[in-house]
Amino acid sequence: MKAIIQRVLKASVTVEDEVISSIGPGLCVLIGISKDDSKKEAEYIARKILNLRVFDDENGKRWNKNVMDKQLEVLCVSQFTLMSILKGNKPDFHLAMGPGKSEAFYQEFLTLMKTSYSEDKIKDGKFGAYMQVNIQNDGPVTIPIESTSAKPNKESLQESSST
């Protein structure tokens, strides 16, 4: 799994000219799911997102509070393109989990986020839809994280080059 975590003043997701989800201050997280991901990776990424200290504390001390400490919202957006590798100048998505399996995995990830924090604080886009994601970065602060399964190994790269 890969996650691009962005501290935001606000963020929203629009599908077919309709805003389907929005948050105020908090985190907007783009989520990429690898074909090799398991519950272990989902737990690791969820824990990192929720515990990442990217907010100031009440005394102005930087990098001292996480999204839960501040009771802020998290907008998660599934983005299979995070799992791309380049074949020349063309992206290849061979390492991404397939659409059927990844949708169930993503829903389980969202459930994990909600049970680890608060159901009403976790928002998401629309899986598999063509979305417009509007993000007003704060800082900007952007932190990429990935689980070990997100790092391509030699076998995965060889499979990709032969397809």
Q: Is 136 a catalytic residue?
A: no
Collapsed DSSP state (helix, strand, coil) of residue 131: coil
DSSP single-letter state for residue 80: G
Q: Which of 55, 80, 105, 109 is catalytic?
A: 80
Question: Tell me, what amino acid is at 133?
Answer: V
52, two tokens:
């990442």
Measured between alpha carbons, how far is 75 from 98 in angstroms, rounded to an integer?
22
CA–CA dist 72, 7 (Å, integer):
11
Cα–Cα distance, 163 to 159 (Å, whole number) = 6
| Catalytically annotated residue among 71, 81, 107, 148 | 81
* Cα–Cα nearest to 156, from 104, 78, 96: 96
- Can 93 be counted among the known catalytic residues? no
* 14 carries an active-site annotation: no
Q: What is the CA radius of gyration of the chain?
A: 16
What is the spatial distance between Cα 10 and Cα 74, in angstroms, rounded to a whole number?
Answer: 10
Of the candidates 14, 79, 105, 109, the residue annotated as catalytic is 79
Query: Which residues carry out catalysis?
Result: 79-81
